[in-house]
Amino acid sequence: MQAIFNRLSSLKYLLRPLALVGIGIVLLSLGLAYFVVALYHTVDVPDFFYYVTLQFLPRWTRGFLLGGAGLAILIAGIWQLSSVVVISLTPEQETDGELLVGYRQLKSAPFVTVLSGGSGMLVLAGLGRDVRQLVCVTPIQDPVEYYYRAASLLQFENVIYVPPSPAPVQVFVELDDGSRHNIRHDLTHNDQLTNRHVQQIYLADDHGQPCENVALPLLRQASEAIANADAIILGPGSLFASIIPNLLIPEVREAIKRSKARKIYICNLMTEPALTTGFNVAEHIRQIKRYGQFTPDYVLVDVQRIEPAIRRLYEAANQVPVQLTPEEYEETMVPTTDRVTTRSVVVEGAEVIEADLASTIVQVSATLDRPGESRAVRVLRHDPEKVTGAILEVLRRT
């Protein structure tokens, strides 16, 4: 009932014109009726006129029939008119004293949920400008205030950060050499682990003991954000430190599986020492399928040519680009209409979209030991504008 009232209340600005139109139609109908009656009394009309004017029915019945039909049509008309709701076309920029009236229904912006962490989460914060709501579900092991601190410095709006659960949980990885590490420890800069990759990842207590059977009640904000999203974006961010930890929580996995949102995975630009050494695009997707038990609908992969000098820098750190190679994908052709056929690149069941997603930036860093000695390094990073543009393009065309 409230929904009906709300919809009809949008017509309140049209009450006067609607009343005038109504009065006009009544007067017009009366005038027309006089002409028809005069014509009927002065001209011999054909026999079928008897049936057309329903003269075989008593006058009361005819009145009720026409009145009822007219009322039904009137209600249907008003109902349809209320869907062409009168709105301000630019609600944020209203001018002085003038009612802005438009006859276009605003298409509602999408509701987007991001599962990521680290600096990758901040890459997507600009998306808040273009969506109805942006909820970022932070990795279970990270303190949420880190994200609020960074976001408040950058003055993001329409973005909210929420952990999946308030319960304190750690995330441990077992590498291919059998060693176990807390994911929050900086493994990527451990020279002894450079050539390693993750064999297993699990939730653990503070001592590293697996806690598979511990119930982790989801915060409603997180579960509703996943359930109601138009798109769930995984990444950009470290596969094992930012994306997969939340997929280890059964409730998160179930919520993602139940959600009708499009799942978009933003693949890493480079492999990460000690975590994803040797992983190609397909292996990244396989890890998501393994722990998340779902296949992303789309995977965004960077296609940009990397400058040789930067490539050498990364190679020195045992990192190589994660880009699509011909041997790992299959190409499908999907006829969308009789004349148009869409070519898609599919890897592990996910449609891969190659796009320019990255930019080279100069990163200045210093160590705690020698804070005065900063070092400038050229690095490759996901570009917020490019990534946001690519996501919006995927949302627009799907």
| Residue 132 is a binding residue for another protein (CB under 8 A) | no
Contact, 357 vs 266, CB < 8 A? Answer: yes
For residue 335, the tally of other CB atoms under 10 A from its CB is 9
Give the interface size with another protein as a residue count (CB under 8 A): 30
Which among 151, 191, 160, 184 has a CA at the least distance from the CA of 316?
191
How far apart (Å, rounded) are the C-alpha atoms in residues 374 and 366? 4
- For another protein, the closer of residues 1 and 340 by Cβ is 1
Which among 252, 233, 339 has a CA at the least distance from the CA of 292?
252
Is residue 176 helix, strand or coil? coil
| Residue 47 is a binding residue for another protein (CB under 8 A) | no
| Residue 217 is a binding residue for another protein (CB under 8 A) | yes
Stretch of 154-162, 192-200, 207-215, 308-316 lying at the interface with another protein (CB under 8 A) = 154-162
| Residue 294 is a binding residue for another protein (CB under 8 A) | no
Burial of 80 (0-12, 13-18, 19+ CB in 10 A): exposed
Is residue 153 helix, strand or coil? helix
The helix (run of H) or strand (run of E) holding residue 20 is: helix 15-42
29-61: b (≥16 Cβ within 10 Å) or e: eeeeeeeeeeeeeeeeeeeeeeeeeeeeeeeee
| Residue 97 is a binding residue for another protein (CB under 8 A) | yes
- For another protein, the closer of residues 72 and 100 by Cβ is 100
The helix (run of H) or strand (run of E) holding residue 261 is: none
| Residue 13 is a binding residue for another protein (CB under 8 A) | yes
Sign of the four-CA dihedral 66, 72, 74, 77: negative
| Residue 162 is a binding residue for another protein (CB under 8 A) | yes
> Any alpha helices (H) in 101-184, and if so which ranges?
118-123, 144-153
Closest contact distance (angstroms) between CB of 134 and another protein is 11
- For another protein, the closer of residues 160 and 346 by Cβ is 160
| Residue 160 is a binding residue for another protein (CB under 8 A) | yes
| Residue 158 is a binding residue for another protein (CB under 8 A) | yes
- For another protein, the closer of residues 159 and 353 by Cβ is 159
- For another protein, the closer of residues 65 and 106 by Cβ is 106
Closest contact distance (angstroms) between CB of 333 and another protein is 43
Closest contact distance (angstroms) between CB of 371 and another protein is 22
| Residue 10 is a binding residue for another protein (CB under 8 A) | no
- For another protein, the closer of residues 162 and 229 by Cβ is 162
Measured at the CA of 73, the angle between CA 72 and CA 75, to 5 degrees, comes to 65
The tokens 């060693």 sit on which residue? 179
| Residue 193 is a binding residue for another protein (CB under 8 A) | no
Q: Which of 94, 315, 330, 393 binds another protein (CB under 8 A)?
A: 94
Q: Which of 7, 132, 149, 257 binds another protein (CB under 8 A)?
A: 149
- For another protein, the closer of residues 220 and 290 by Cβ is 220
Q: Which of 112, 161, 265, 296 binds another protein (CB under 8 A)?
A: 161
Q: Which residues contact another protein (rule: CB under 8 A)?
A: 12-13, 94, 96-97, 99, 133, 135, 143-145, 148-149, 151-152, 155-163, 166, 217, 219-222
